[in-house]
């Protein structure tokens, strides 16, 4: 079938069924909700939203930790069949406080490692820039201080070796020959 061709007329017949009364749907939804939670966790009256063959009954949450959340009960709403509960959920609304989107550990770790590499590369490039300037000039600088500019008298006197022994062991005489010095 081409996109430009006209679709055939639908052969489905439309039903005049308007759904079960909202009071019945609300009562069934409230009973289902009481099986999952307590009455103080939601507010009445609920809002009933109808779809084709389904009705969603929504109760605003009354829990202090869940502002903007809604208890929703999905019910079947078919002609000739009693409505039944399909599921019950606590769902966030547009103004609900929700957790941020989950990021897998591997992705978080990859981001962390890239950040660490960038930091170490930046430190290494800073060190390289400093080293280039220092390699050319060795004028007795130690950590940027010129030793010649210090006002310290560093004229060490030569080591004096005493002519006379001043240690008790320096003048010990051996009766026998020294075994270490024959």
| Site of tokens 């008298």 | 153
Question: What's the confidence (pLDDT) of residue 68?
Answer: 94
Q: Is the pLDDT of residue 72 over 70?
A: yes
Q: Look-up: residue for tokens 């050319």?
A: 136
Residue 172 belongs to some domain of the structure: no
Alpha carbon distance 58, 94 (integer Å): 14
- The arithmetic mean of pLDDT across residues 77-83, rounded, is 92
Pairing of the two strands 141-142 and 85-92: unpaired
Domain that holds residue 39: 17-119
Predicted confidence at residue 97, as pLDDT, reads 87
Q: Is 106 part of any domain? A: yes
With 0-12 / 13-18 / 19 or more C-beta atoms within 10 angstroms meaning exposed / middle / buried, residue 78 is middle
Q: Does position 129 have pLDDT exceeding 50, yes or no?
A: yes
Provide the domain count of the chain: 1
More confident residue, 171 or 78: 78
Whether pLDDT at 168 is above 80: no
In a domain, 33, yes or no: yes
Tell me: pLDDT of 59 over 70.
yes
Residue predicted with more confidence, 147 or 85: 85
**pLDDT above 70 as % of the chain:** 62
Give me the mean pLDDT over the 130-145 stretch.
55
What CA–CA distance (Å, rounded) separates 29 from 25?
6
Q: Please report which confidence band the pLDDT of residue 57 belongs to, taking 50, 70 and 90 as the band edges.
A: very high
Q: Is the pLDDT of residue 141 over 90?
A: no
Judge contact between 60 and 43, C-beta under 8 A.
yes
Find out whether 25 and 75 touch, Cβ atoms under 8 Å.
yes
Q: 134 in a domain, yes or no?
A: no
Q: Determine, yes or no, domain membership for 176.
A: no
State how far the Cα of 146 lies from the Cα of 150, in Å rounded to an integer.
7
Q: Which of 55, 56, 66, 120 is nearest to 90 (CA)?
A: 66
Gap between the Cα atoms of 84 and 20, Å rounded: 11
């Amino acid at each position: 079938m081409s996109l430009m061709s006209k679709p055939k007329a639908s052969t489905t017949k439309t039903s005049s069924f308007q759904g079960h009364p909202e009071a019945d749907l609300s009562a069934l939804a409230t009973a289902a909700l009481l099986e999952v939670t307590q009455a103080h966790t939601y507010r009445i009256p609920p809002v009933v939203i109808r779809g084709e063959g389904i009705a969603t009954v929504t109760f605003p949450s009354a829990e202090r930790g869940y502002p903007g959340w809604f208890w929703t009960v999905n019910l079947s709403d078919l002609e000739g069949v009693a409505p039944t509960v399909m599921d019950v959920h606590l769902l966030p609304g547009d103004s609900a406080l929700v957790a941020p989107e989950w990021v897998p550990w591997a992705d978080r770790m990859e981001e962390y490692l890239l950040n660490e590499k960038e930091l170490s590369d930046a430190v290494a490039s800073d060190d390289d820039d400093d080293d280039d300037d220092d390699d050319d000039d060795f004028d007795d600088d130690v950590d940027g201080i010129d030793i010649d500019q210090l006002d310290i008298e560093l004229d060490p006197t030569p080591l004096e070796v005493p002519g006379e022994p001043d240690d008790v062991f320096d003048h010990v005489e051996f009766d026998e020959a020294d075994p270490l010095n024959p």
